[in-house]
A and B are shown apart, each in its own frame.
Chain A
Amino acid sequence: MIAGEDIEFQNILSGFLMYDSFGNQLWRSDYVRGRFAPPELGLTPLTRYLDSIPITPVTSVWLSCRFYMQDGVPNHSILGMADSTQEFGGIFIGKGSANQKLGLFTVKTDQTETRVTEEAGSTFLTNILLRIDMQITNFNSASTNIKVYLNQNTTPTINWTGNTTGLGITALDCFRWVHNDSVSPGRQAVTEIILADDDTRKYIGVPILACNAAGTTNTTDSGAYTDINEIRLDDTNMLQFGFAGQIFEGNLTSAPAGNYNVRAVKVIARASKGDSGPGTLKIGIDSGGTDDGVSRVLTTVLTSYVRLMATNPITSGFFTIAELNALQLYLESAA
């Protein structure tokens, strides 16, 4: 299981997407097109900003993200893992007894928030883009172990073992970012979220490839790549498929420069069907001129449909950088 998450568009519960400021300061604009930003001050602590699209519930998981915060309030949670079906509850990191001291919190579904430990030092720095990796092992047991690594260090900043039963939830299925007051809420950011069952510290990041030109084929009834490549979600323009077998392909922006390996590629499409007409959308890629789509049965409500590919389905090998750079987004309607 690995679910790279980044600029999503259906689970922002409070706050919004920003993309026109602080690039390569609060977020890495070479990788992603924008950042989640919280709303204004004054919310109750623990108010949800964002849940990632739920994964199959787990009790052991790695979470990775990039995080920036100016100031912040001591003794409150910021981000962690939660149960998407519950408004409160989970395992969070946040501000310890001082605003640059990393703290670890358990939160119950009744909103009881307990700081179970904090780092001895003060390395949870404000005003700098941090890389966070957190490993949770055996959640909902008397001997849960949680390690938090800052900036891909080999030694955890927090290494806590303790009881995580009785929180009101028994498994974790989403990344969650919650309210912690900041002097400048606009100067907070979370990007490049990864949930995985293996060590996330080896991952360089999560680049976003968005359509930037027409692809090889577009036989849709209406719409072009410009209708589906917006940064901030806009449902008012779209591609429309009136019959089965219609295809849309779009060229994509390039992958980041450098020499690296590709662990996984994910295609996301936000789509719905009509009361009649085609009801299935194949989502996938055109790689080297060959199309590969996997069916997703749509509903009449706009929803994000995901296809995660650990390997290139056309070559059966891992994606290469060259393949990534030549990739086209592929969508096809089906009955």
Chain B
Amino acid sequence: MSIDVTKAVVPIVPGVSPVRISVTKALVIAVITSTPVVFHISSCPCIEPLKIKLCPLC
């Protein structure tokens, strides 16, 4: 009987161990911005990004 791996519910992965954690890929992603990033506290009424920067509560 052949198995169509494209339709398998559980991927068939050569080498994945039944007794170990396997990590097959990992990386780090950053999001960068030209403008200063600022904290915005949840109680602050300001919602506009420019106002946030000026808001004394933040």
Q: Which residues of chain A have C-beta atoms less than 8 A from B11's C-beta?
A: 235, 301-302
The verdict on B33 contacting chain A, using a C-beta distance below 8 Å, is yes
Q: Which residues of chain A have C-beta atoms less than 8 A from B29's C-beta?
A: 4-6, 206-209, 265-268
Determine the distance from Cα of A331 to Cα of B21 in the docked complex, in whole angstroms. Answer: 11
> Please, what's the 1-or-0 string for A270-282, where 1 marks a CB less than 8 Å from any CB in chain B?
1111111111010
The verdict on B56 contacting chain A, using a C-beta distance below 8 Å, is no
Picked from B21, B26, B30, B35, the residue with its CB within 8 Å of the CB of A255 is: B30
List B8-49 residues whose CB lies under 8 Å from chain A: 10-11, 13-37, 49
Q: Which residues of chain B have C-beta atoms less than 8 A from A9's C-beta?
A: 25
Per the CB 8 Å criterion, the residue count for chain A at the interface is: 74
Per the CB 8 Å criterion, the residue count for chain B at the interface is: 28
Determine the distance from Cα of A320 to Cα of B28 in the docked complex, in whole angstroms. Answer: 15
- Given A236-B15, A238-B15, A256-B32, A331:B23 Cβ within 8 A: yes
Cβ B28 vs Cβ A327 within 8 A: yes
List A278-294 residues whose CB lies under 8 Å from chain B: 278-279, 281, 283, 285
Determine the distance from Cα of A318 to Cα of B25 in the docked complex, in whole angstroms. Answer: 26
Picked from B10, B23, B33, B49, the residue with its CB within 8 Å of the CB of A238 is: B23
Picked from A277, A279, A327, A331, the residue with its CB within 8 Å of the CB of B26 is: A331
Cβ A228 vs Cβ B24 within 8 A: yes
Question: Chain B's nearest CB lies how many Å from the CB of A159?
Answer: 18
The verdict on A239 contacting chain B, using a C-beta distance below 8 Å, is yes
> Please, what's the 1-or-0 string for A136-163, where 1 marks a CB less than 8 Å from any CB in chain B?
0000000000000000000000000000
Q: Which residues of chain A have C-beta atoms less than 8 A from B16's C-beta?
A: 235, 238, 272, 274, 302
Cβ B28 vs Cβ A209 within 8 A: yes
Question: Chain B's nearest CB lies how many Å from the CB of A299?
Answer: 10
* Most A-side CB within 10 Å, residue of B13, B18, B21, B30: B21
> Please, what's the 1-or-0 string for A205-240, where 1 marks a CB less than 8 Å from any CB in chain B?
111111100000000010100011110011111111
Chain B residue at smallest Cβ distance from A242: B20
- Given A202-B35, A261-B32, A228:B23 Cβ within 8 A: yes
Q: Which residues of chain B have C-beta atoms less than 8 A from A319's C-beta?
A: 30
Determine the distance from Cα of A327 to Cα of B29 in the docked complex, in whole angstroms. Answer: 12
Q: Which residues of chain B have C-beta atoms less than 8 A from A302's C-beta?
A: 11, 13, 16, 22, 24
Cβ A270 vs Cβ B23 within 8 A: yes
Cβ B22 vs Cβ A285 within 8 A: no
The verdict on A40 contacting chain B, using a C-beta distance below 8 Å, is no
Chain B residue at smallest Cβ distance from A32: B29
List 12 interface pairs A-B (beta carbons < 8 Å), by A numbering.
Answer: A2-B31, A206-B29, A209-B29, A228-B26, A233-B25, A235-B11, A235-B13, A236-B14, A239-B23, A252-B28, A255-B30, A270-B23
Which residues of A approach B to under 8 Å, CB–CB? 2, 4-7, 9, 194, 198-199, 202-211, 221, 223, 227-230, 233-242, 248, 250, 252, 255-256, 260-279, 281, 283, 285, 298, 300-302, 318-319, 324, 327, 329, 331, 333
| Complex A-B, nearest 10 residue pairs according to Cβ-Cβ distance, in ascending order | A269-B26, A241-B21, A4-B31, A209-B28, A277-B19, A239-B23, A274-B18, A240-B20, A238-B24, A266-B29
19 further A-B pairs in the complex, CB-CB below 8 A; given A240-B23, A273-B20:
A4-B30, A194-B31, A199-B49, A202-B49, A208-B29, A238-B22, A238-B23, A239-B22, A240-B21, A241-B21, A261-B35, A265-B31, A268-B26, A271-B23, A271-B24, A272-B21, A274-B19, A274-B22, A275-B18
